[in-house]
Amino acid sequence: MRQNQLQEINANDLTIGNLVCIEAGDIISGDGHLLEANHLQVNESHLTGEVESIDKSVEIIKEKTILAKQKNMVFSDSLVNHGTGKYIVCAIGMQTEIGKIASLLDNTKNRKTPLQKNLDTLSGQLSLLILIICFLVLILQLFVARENILDALMMAVALAVAAIPEALSSIVTIILSLST
């Protein structure tokens, strides 16, 4: 409602304090307190995980409660499945419940699992051991077998390329999935 007239506006133009009329098929653009609810059912599965639509009402909830039980609120990106209603916008953008979840996801840090840490350690140790063996093969080829330096170097490099475990993580994944 703008200037006491029902208008269709872009979700980007929505501001806190706007009065919004909703009906079946609408996607809610901002979090808000319901002022009117006529057989209103809203699908909030993206927030609550519940597949069923939630019946909404204008009853005032006195105690602090979880999102799924806030019957007098509508939340951004929810789908109106049935009925009509009106609500006052109280949060938009990143201040909405879905926006808070998005900001939490942005602020998470990727941590390695213990298996990944162990595989990294094992790969490092194997690579070091392989390089030491390749160096020994190079020395033996040069001084014991009396090969020329280019042939000895090619032999050591070929051994290193063949022995370094490039696909170790793939092999572990396959083995774990087979054992599961």
How does DSSP assign 68-108, residue by residue?
Answer: GG-TTEE-TT-EEEEEEEEEEEEE-GGGSHHHHHHHHHHT-
CA distances from 166 to 127, 163, 171, 173 (A): 10, 9, 10, 13
Global pTM value: 0.60
pLDDT of amino acid 85: 93
pLDDT in tens, 81-105: 999 999 999 999 889 998 888 888 8
For residues 33-54, average pLDDT: 89
pLDDT in tens, 58-73: 888 877 888 778 888 9
SS3 (DSSP) at 55? strand
89 Cβ neighbours under 8 A, 6+ residues apart: 14, 15, 16, 17, 18, 19, 20, 29, 30, 31, 32
- Mean pLDDT, the chain, rounded, equals 87
Amino acid letter, 151? D
The closest of 158, 164, 159 to 127, measured between CA atoms, is 164
31: pLDDT confidence band, cut at 50, 70 and 90?
A: very high
- Residue 173 scores a pLDDT above 80: yes
**Residue 51 backbone phi and psi in degrees, to 5:** -80, -30
- Residue 3 scores a pLDDT above 80: no
For residues 27-50, average pLDDT: 90
**Residue 164 backbone phi and psi in degrees, to 5:** -70, 125
pLDDT of amino acid 136: 93
Q: How many Å apart are CA 76 and CA 161, to the nearest integer?
A: 54
- The proportion of the chain whose per-residue pLDDT surpasses 70, expressed as a percent, equals 100
What are the structural domains, with CATH classification, of the chain?
11-104 (2.70.150.10), 114-179 (no CATH)
